[in-house]
Structures are given as structure tokens and as C-alpha cells.
């Protein structure tokens, strides 16, 4: 067996096992949103389709909530998700959330600022790769590009 084939088989087995574990135990989170926003519910629905269990809470004090959870204004997204000790701001793809929870970096969380077209839950056509930023001290650092 070649090394490339062995690597591929190992990757497939690992992904299969992680998928079985993921399917058995949904990741729970609470998404805080403006009561009038529909795309926030779209993101919650997307995450549930990806195997997450999301409680949606409508609040009229979202800006203060973001500030309390350490989200810098320049990295604010549409809504704020609290999940397993992290803040996930905006329309972050499920793969980046799973990576955050698996790697457990020493940061507050991750963010997709604004409401980019084509991001999960937003609809529309994606016009460029989606940049996911770390919520941490100092200058914004890219966590992932999807």
C-alpha cells in the first residue's frame, strides 16, 4: 500500500468516526439576535442542519450583549452565538466552529464581521472567500478562510 493511499484511508476513517461521534452528541449553543432579523434564524437553521442544537433568543440589547462578551465593534456580525465557552460572532461556517471547539485556542472566539452575501444563512452568491477572524487581544488575526 502506498503512503498516499494509507494517508487517504486514515483520513476517511477519521472523518467517519468523527461523523459518528458528531451525530450521536449534538453541540449545543445559544444564538442571540435582534428580534426583527431573519438571516439570524437562517444561520441557526443552517447550524441545526449541520448537527448543532441551537436555542435562539431574541433581544433588544444585542449591542450591549456583544460588548459584554468582548466583541470589538469592527468585528461585529449580525448575531452572537455562545457555544461551549466561546463567542461565535456572525455567519461563521460550521467547519470553523467545529475547528474552534476541537482545537480550543486561548481566544474569546471567532467572527465573520458584517453580513456577507453567500455566508451560511445569508443567501445570495458568495463573491469572495469568507474570512473568519479571531476574537482576541491586538490586531485582528485570520482564524480561517472558507
Q: Tens of pLDDT along 20-35?
A: 444 558 999 999 999 9
Separation CA 45–CA 57 (nearest Å): 14
Residue 141: inside a domain:
yes
CATH of the domain at 68: 3.40.30
Closest CA to 88 of 60, 127, 129, 46: 46
The answer to whether 104 and 126 have CB atoms below 8 angstroms apart is no
| 54-78: pLDDT as tens digits | 999 999 999 999 999 999 999 999 9
User: Is 13 a domain residue?
Assistant: no
Q: Containing domain of residue 52, as a range? A: 29-145
Indicate the pTM of the whole model.
Answer: 0.82
**How many other C-beta atoms lie within 10 A of the C-beta of residue 60?**
10
Number of structural domains (the chain) is 1
Residues 51 and 26 sit within 8 Å (Cβ to Cβ): yes
Amino acid at each position: 500500500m502506498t503512503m498516499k493511499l494509507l494517508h487517504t484511508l486514515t483520513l476517511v476513517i477519521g472523518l467517519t468516526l468523527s461523523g459518528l461521534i458528531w451525530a450521536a452528541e449534538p453541540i449545543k449553543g445559544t444564538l442571540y439576535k435582534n428580534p426583527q432579523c431573519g438571516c439570524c434564524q437562517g444561520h441557526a437553521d443552517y447550524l441545526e442542519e449541520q448537527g448543532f442544537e441551537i436555542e435562539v433568543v431574541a433581544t433588544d440589547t444585542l449591542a450591549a450583549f456583544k460588548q459584554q462578551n468582548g466583541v470589538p465593534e469592527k468585528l461585529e456580525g449580525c448575531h452572537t452565538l455562545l457555544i461551549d465557552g466561546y463567542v461565535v460572532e456572525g455567519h461563521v461556517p460550521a467547519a470553523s466552529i467545529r475547528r474552534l471547539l476541537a482545537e480550543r485556542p486561548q481566544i474569546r472566539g471567532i467572527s465573520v464581521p458584517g453580513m456577507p452575501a453567500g455566508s451560511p444563512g445569508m443567501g445570495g452568491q458568495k463573491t469572495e472567500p469568507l474570512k473568519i477572524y479571531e476574537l482576541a487581544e491586538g490586531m485582528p488575526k485570520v482564524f480561517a478562510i472558507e
